[in-house]
A and B are shown apart, each in its own frame.
Chain A
C-alpha cells in the first residue's frame, strides 16, 4: 500500500517568514495530493490540492509543488501569520480507497 512520509514534525518560524513542509510517497500510481490543516481540537480541512498532471498550484499565500519523478511534494506558506499556526497533513491517493496521510507537521508562528 501507499506510504507517506512527512517532514519536519515541528516547524517554528517568525511571523512574516516563509514555511515549507515536505512529503514523499511510495506508490507511483498515486495521482492526487491534498494538504489539510487542523487547528487544535478541530476537524481537518482541505487547504489546497494538486493532481499528478500539474507541477505547481498556488492560492494566495499558499502553494504546492509536485515532483512525480522523485515522488515528493511540498507545501509553501509565505508571509506567515498567527492564524497559520496549526497541524498540517499531507496525503496521497491513487483512487477512491481513501487518502493515506503523513504524520503531520506542527507549525508554530512566533510573534
Chain B
C-alpha cells in the first residue's frame, strides 16, 4: 500500500493563478481531510469529506474548493492564489466507524505564492 499520496511536493504560484493539489489514498478509507500548516500555528482544517459525493467546510475554507467523486481521490483547488495561501498542505485519511480516528497523512505539498 502506498498510503496517502500527494502531488506536487513543491509549487510556486504567482498571485491570481489557480492550481489543484492532488490527493489519493489506497487504504479504502471513507474519511479524507485537507489541512494547512503554517509555522508555529499547528494544523488547520480546510475541508473534509465523509465519503464520495459529500464534502464539508473546516475552519479555514475561504479561497479553496474540493470535490470527492471517488473514495480514493480528494483534490484541493486553489482559485486566485494569494500570498496568504503560502503554506504546507497535508492531505489525510481515516477509517472511522471502527473505533479508531487515526489520521494517516500524506507527505505534504509546499506551496509558495509570490
Contact = CB atoms under 8 A, between A and B. Distances in A.
Report if A and B associate in a common complex.
yes
Interface of A: 1, 6, 9, 32, 34, 36, 42-46, 49, 89, 93, 96-104
B42 A46 contact: no
B40 A32 contact: no
B24 to A, nearest CB: 15
The listed residue with most B CB atoms (<10 A of its CB), out of A6, A98, A101, A104, is A98
A51 to B, nearest CB: 9
Nearest to A106: B40
A103 B41 contact: yes
A103 B103 contact: no
7 contacts: A1-B59, A6-B42, A32-B101, A34-B101, A98-B35, A98-B45, A101-B44
Given A96-B96, A98-B33, A103 B40 contact: yes
Contact of B58 (A89, A98, A102): A98
Interface stretch (B11-19, B73-81, B105-113): B105-113
B21 to A, nearest CB: 15
